[in-house]
Structure 1
């Protein structure tokens, strides 16, 4: 049986706690939390139809956020993606940009959906809780 490294256990516990705090700020649930990665998610509460059929799929309504690769200054690679309504795009992007978060993609995923949906991707190198607070500010412009 291998030796248990107490530093690994303490580090894992701190990372898990940090991931939970990250999720709480974003109003999300922890999807995955391990030493080198934190992924959190929530689904938007939107009434959407694709091909005339109502959908509640996380493939359509999901938002995902993650952080990983903490450096010695406590900064991480932070990533985000969320479904966004057309009329929410400009105010959402404005807040992200004011907070020095790079918008890296804006595109559709589906055809024949109602209402029209887009998906926005964004990234930064920042302290993970600071990133979460900045994104949470932008999320306030979303309808649901």
Structure 2
């Protein structure tokens, strides 16, 4: 057999194996149980056949939001969602964006992390919005029911907060001392690095090394993670 014929034979075998592997993988994917997702989240969803994605949505119509003194309808960007798509085998991928107000961010993030979800971003979309609106991206890969339960826990936590206070709170609970008196020693022990002290405040910056345009950059160029503390040891803001 000539070299060309042998190469063609190998290519055909490889191509056939690839097609077979793709077919097996597709066959192993489990169809989304959309009814179960709706049951767990308590939300109605829509299915995109083209992308094989099922999405549940929750408009934030419970709080009036003004942008430049104009009342913004949920359709304009105030709707939380969670989208589910089959992944490998019986696994499902979930990605979502959660509309939050300032006093909901910490509790909602804790609820997501405690439920095993990933929090991949937290940011704002608007200028001159009142009350301030934030968007928390969540995600995860695993059992569809567990992911849906995680989404439900996040939404339930938000509902609990709004049930206790109909209007979003604009301040943190407690009072931060006007004159700072932070003891740096316990914080340095936690972070494992020395920090900076200034008028009773404490700041730590943990640098990393990187390369940009073939130039080495590090802590002083801004490649760092930092945290600053003000107030007292009992009540501080950071």
TM bin, normalised by shorter chain, reads 0.7 to 0.9
SS at match of 1:141: helix
CA distance in 2, matches of 1:27, 1:85: 21
Larger relative contact order, structure 1 or 2 (CA cutoff 8 Å, min sep 6): 1
- Farther off after superposition, 108-117 or 30-39: 30-39
Specify the alignment match of 2:13 in structure 1.
none
CA distance in 2, matches of 1:87, 1:43: 18
Give the gaps of 5 or more residues in structure 2: 1-28, 164-238
Contact 1:19 1:33 in 2 (8 A): no
Give the Å deviation of 1:104. 0.4
SS at match of 1:137: helix
Give the gaps of 5 or more residues in structure 1: 1-10
CA RMSD of aligned residues (A): 2.1
Q: Does 1:63 align with 2:110?
A: no
CA distance in 2, matches of 1:117, 1:88: 10
CA distance in 1, matches of 2:112, 2:74: 26
Q: Does 1:105 align with 2:121?
A: yes
TM-score by length of 2: 0.50
Give the Å deviation of 1:61. 1.7
- Farther off after superposition, 80-89 or 56-65: 56-65
Moved over 4 A (4+): none
Give the Å deviation of 1:20. 3.0
Name which one, 1 or 2, has greater alpha-carbon Rg: 2
Contact 2:56 2:82 in 1 (8 A): yes
Q: Does 1:76 align with 2:89?
A: no
Q: Does 1:27 align with 2:42?
A: yes
TM-score by length of 1: 0.80
Deviation track 1:66-122 (CA, whole Å, cap 9, x = no partner) reads 1113322x2111111111011111111111111221100000000011110000101
- Count of residue correspondences: 130
SS at match of 1:77: strand
Give the Å deviation of 1:28. 2.4
Give the Å deviation of 1:47. 0.9
Q: Normalized per residue, which structure has more strand?
A: 1
